[in-house]
Amino acid sequence: MTVLSLSKALNEGMRKAMEDDPKVLIMGEDVGKLGGVFRVTDGLQKDFGEDRVIDTPLAESGIIGTAIGLALRGYRPVCEIQFDGFVFPAADQIITQLAKMPMRSLGAIKLPVVVRIPCGGGIGAVEHHSESPEAYFTHTAGLRVVACSNPADAYVMIQQAIRSDDPVIFFEPKRRYWEKADIDTGSTDWWTPLDKGRVVRPGTDVTLLAYGPMVKTCLEAAKAAEDDGRSLEVIDLRSLNPLDAPLVMDSVRRTGRVVVVHEAPVNSGFGAELAARITEQCFYHLESPVLRVGGFSTPYPPSKLEEYYLPDLDRVLDAVDRAFGY
Amino acid sequence: MTVDASRGAEAPPELVQLLTPEGERVEHPDYDIDLKPEEVRSLYRDLVLVRRIDLEAVALQRQGELGIWASLLGQEAAQIGSGRALTDADMAFPTYREHGVAWCRDVDPVKLLGLFRGVNHGGWDPREHNFHLYTIVIGSQTLHAVGYAMGIQRDDASAAAIAYFGDGATSQGDVNESFIWASVFNAPIVFFCQNNQWAISEPLEKQTRIPLYRRASGFGFPGVRVDGNDVFACLAVTRQALKNAREGQGPTLIEAFTYRMGAHTTTDDPTRYRVASELEAWKLKDPIERVKSYLFKNELADQAFIESVEAEADQLGADLRRRCLAMPDPQPLDMFDHVYAEPHPLIDEERAQFAAYLEGFRD
Ligand SMILES: Cc1ncc(C[n+]2csc(CCOP(=O)(O)OP(=O)(O)O)c2C)c(N)n1
């Protein structure tokens, strides 16, 4: 057992992947000597050299575009996008090229490219540093989209993402980077497959669906609700595309009530997809509409306001109250 | 507004040329090429055959067999010259108009039609002939080429990548990013810009205030402008640039100064934006005619040879037509294939639902 923070767990996961497979490359802005602005790639260039941990020019389209070329040559690039709000210059390469090229080649081409994106708010940053762009990517066929929420998953999921022959958009909850956990790095027995979700707290009255940074918030809400005599089940979706729909539907059929929680704006957010699917598949099991808690339809606000924008324990519990009001 | 007919047709002084429009061999201080008679005849054959593939495809589009076609008419020398400079180990990254390069890479011409007929988005296995899929999004492939070249570097292989793009593409961020990447990583790549003077209706002046090859110097690597209608010069210059790349001397930008004789694609109407005299001026620089003159002047070929190539072209055209019409339509459920390399439950679910829905129509 080793105690690792989420960022260190990612680092160890990447290190393991690089040791296991000489074709794995790390690339991005400042990932070398600096170890990334969040130090997630700390020490990797020192140990694997500049050819495998590549400090790139400051150009996101270039990072993804050249990663595609390296993947065509048999490499497995892991790209770091420095912050969520800077993925948009690369969106063209991700959406028009990375996602579609394998299908265009009728499967002849595989693009095992991982795009790591530190996402979400809560760290008091300036604009463009606190966003949750997942829905842009879950909407794009050909990409896998996953979000880790804790150090153990971070350690496992990054290795699975690197091993996947599909392109993976990998969201890292930046405000959880410093949280620590005990991790068994010596065994893979406990690993959950990359495209499976997990019930992180069983309950009987309401299902809370969350991923990334909101999993912890939901766990806190569930704990608080216990005092009111309510039993909340918390699911960490882990994978958004594909979604572990059986896990979700099974829970909804048991509880009859659902609250979806994410940081991204509610409007056209990933919660809308969940609500629609649940309504289609579990209509007669529902005691109340699927409720969504998330950001507003505003740009991510200045940091002095982010505590109002971000879903917290009280907003989650408020939604739970509303779910019981039907 | 149309543009002055002389625009772009003047041969600028810095142009590398080894064969004049009249079919005279000329010397250049930096580039030379020593071609055996059969090599010249073979280049001539390539030029004629790809022109025929292109003409046949245009005809097929007119008859409703292709949804659209991007013609290479006028750009044969740029493509055959550069394409014949490649070795098997080199990797080419085309746009959507590189039918001549595809020919040099031994890609079956009928496979080029799939994308334009709407039966697939690609049609060939890029690894089979080291010829990547056509790329529709302007400029994207230049970055893929640089990444691939960085892979060559890491593999310590004796090979280079070549990225094809147009004059319009030079305005794209991706192309500029690819120049930066190639330069700072000293990647073994050749950027081959076919400056055909037009990006659909937009003339070169809408993309640049300086000759395109000079862009390279700002990124820190050499740029050279070659007569894009001169197959000898295109071959010589590309060969040298590829050699430099393979030998660790980094990228080169080649601007092949040429002209798009046809419409941008079969849906375009060039009479709306360019004057006929411009076309006339460029007709005098035809890439095929000048090789033919050279062959005759030097008694390297006779009329019988020319006719045998024509006959071969007729046959190729007829064969392409026959095989285009025989191309099977894809099946409805095919669209769910190859979206992911690994199993994906959502795709499986939707495929099954759609299959059940289709089944409902069967009697
Ligand atoms: C990013 C992007 N924007 C617009 C288009 C539509 N479009 C297709 S071809 C073209 C002009 C390209 O001109 P150029 O790069 O000079 O190449 P050419 O076709 O002349 O060889 C445009 C605008 C596109 N395919 N991709």
pLDDT in tens, A6-21: 999 999 999 999 999 9
Residue A113 has pLDDT above 50, yes or no: yes
**CATH number for the domain whose boundaries are B19-330:** 3.40.50.970
Q: Which residues pair with B162 in a beta bridge?
A: B92, B190
**Closest-CA residue in chain A for B155?**
A73
**Across the interface, do B121 and A100 touch by the CB < 8 Å criterion?**
yes
Burial label for B6, CB within 10 Å (0-12, 13-18, 19+), is: exposed
The answer to whether A239 and A195 have CB atoms below 8 angstroms apart is yes
Read off the tokens for B74.
Answer: 């006028």
**Residue ranges in chain B assigned as alpha helix (H):** 37-62, 76-83, 99-104, 109-117, 126-129, 140-155, 173-184, 215-219, 231-246, 276-283, 287-297, 303-325, 345-359
Residue-wise burial string across A207-223, b where 16 or more C-beta atoms lie within 10 A, e elsewhere? bbbbbbbbbbbbbebbe
Ligand 1 neighbours by CB, cut-off 6 Å: B 97, 136-138, 165-169, 194, 196, 198-200, 260, 264
CA dihedral B328, B332, B335, B337 (to 10 degrees): -80
In percent, the amount of chain A with pLDDT more than 70 equals 100
DSSP B207: T
Give the per-residue SS3 of chain A: CEEEEHHHHHHHHHHHHHHHCCCEEEEECCCCCCCCCCCCCCCHHHHHCCCCEEECCCCHHHHHHHHHHHHHCCCEEEEECCCHHHCHHHHHHHHHHHCCHHHHCCCCCCCCCEEEEEECCCCCCCCCCCCCCHHHHHCCCCCEEEECCCHHHHHHHHHHHHHCCCCEEEEEEHHHCCCEEEECCCCCCCCCCCCCCEEEECCCCEEEEECCCHHHHHHHHHHHHHHCCCCEEEEECCEEECCCHHHHHHHHHHHCCEEEEEEEECCCCHHHHHHHHHHHHHHHHCCCCCEEEEECCCCCCCHHHHHHHCCCHHHHHHHHHHHHCC
Amino acid at site B273: Y
Shortest-distance atom of ligand 1 to CA B265: 19
Q: Given pLDDT bands bounded at 50, 70 and 90, which one contains residue B9?
A: very low
| Beta strands A168-173 and A258-265, pairing class | unpaired
Length of chain B in terms of residues written = 363
List every span in chain B annotated with CATH 3.40.50.970: 19-330
The answer to whether B74 and B121 have CB atoms below 8 angstroms apart is no
Read off the tokens for B303.
Answer: 């009329």
pLDDT for res A48: 98
Which residue is it, tokens 């809560």? A122
Of A71, A108, A141, the CB nearest to B339: A141
Residue B6 has pLDDT above 80, yes or no: no
pLDDT for res B5: 36
pLDDT digits (tens, 9 = 90+) for B247-296: 999 999 999 999 999 999 999 999 999 999 999 999 999 999 999 999 99
The answer to whether A216 and A246 have CB atoms below 8 angstroms apart is no
Spatial CB neighbours of A49, under 8 Å, sequence gap ≥ 6: none
Among B117, B129, B132, B260, the active-site one is B260
Alpha-carbon distance A165 to nearest alpha carbon in chain B (angstroms): 6
pLDDT digits (tens, 9 = 90+) for B182-220: 999 999 999 999 999 999 999 999 999 999 999 999 999
Angle, nearest 10°, between helix axes B140-155 and B173-184? 20
Residue A108 has pLDDT above 80, yes or no: yes
CA–CA dist A257, A179 (Å, integer): 30
pLDDT for res B206: 93
pLDDT for res B7: 45
SS3 B46: helix
CA distances from B108 to B60, B64, B96, B299, B330 (A): 17, 21, 15, 32, 19
**Across the interface, do A166 and B340 touch by the CB < 8 Å criterion?**
yes
**How much is the mean pLDDT over chain A?**
97
Q: How many CA atoms lie within 13 A of B74 on its CB side?
A: 23
**Across the interface, do A67 and B126 touch by the CB < 8 Å criterion?**
no
**Across the interface, do A62 and B137 touch by the CB < 8 Å criterion?**
no
The answer to whether B157 and B187 have CB atoms below 8 angstroms apart is no
**How much is the mean pLDDT over chain B?**
95
Over residues A117-132, mean pLDDT: 95
Q: Is B32 on the interface with A (CB under 8 A)?
A: no
The answer to whether A61 and B177 have CB atoms below 8 angstroms apart is yes
Which residue is it, tokens 């960490």? A236
* Host H or E run for residue B164: strand B161-166
Q: Which residues pair with A111 in a beta bridge?
A: none
pLDDT for res B2: 35
Over residues A249-260, mean pLDDT: 98
The answer to whether B175 and B136 have CB atoms below 8 angstroms apart is no
pLDDT digits (tens, 9 = 90+) for A173-187: 999 999 999 999 999
CA–CA dist B205, B192 (Å, integer): 19
pLDDT for res A176: 98
**Across the interface, do B174 and A93 touch by the CB < 8 Å criterion?**
yes
pLDDT for res A1: 87
Spatial CB neighbours of B67, under 8 Å, sequence gap ≥ 6: B61, B116, B117, B118
pLDDT for res B12: 58
CA A250: distance to chain centroid? Answer: 22
pLDDT digits (tens, 9 = 90+) for A154-169: 999 999 999 999 999 9
Q: Given pLDDT bands bounded at 50, 70 and 90, which one contains residue B297?
A: very high
Q: Given pLDDT bands bounded at 50, 70 and 90, which one contains residue A235?
A: very high
Angle, nearest 10°, between helix axes B37-62 and B109-117? 30
The answer to whether A158 and A115 have CB atoms below 8 angstroms apart is no
pLDDT for res B36: 97
Cα B147 to middle of ligand 1, angstroms: 22
Residue B4 has pLDDT above 70, yes or no: no
pLDDT for res A173: 98
Omega within 30 of 0 (cis) for the link into A242: yes
Q: Given pLDDT bands bounded at 50, 70 and 90, which one contains residue B363?
A: confident
pLDDT digits (tens, 9 = 90+) for A266-290: 999 999 999 999 999 999 999 999 9
Over residues B132-149, mean pLDDT: 97
Q: Is B125 on the interface with A (CB under 8 A)?
A: yes
Which residue is it, tokens 């170890």? A35
Q: Is B273 a catalytic residue?
A: yes
SS3 B14: coil
Instruction: Spell out which residues of chain B touch residue A76, defining contact as CB-CB under 8 Å.
Output: none
B196 closest CA partner among B157, B240, B164? B164
pLDDT for res B57: 98
The answer to whether A92 and A61 have CB atoms below 8 angstroms apart is yes
pLDDT for res B13: 61
CA–CA dist B122, A70 (Å, integer): 20
Q: Is A285 a catalytic residue?
A: no
Phi then psi dihedrals of residue B308, to 5 deg: -65, -35
Cα B289 to middle of ligand 1, angstroms: 29
What are chain A's domains? 2-183 (3.40.50.970), 198-325 (3.40.50.920)
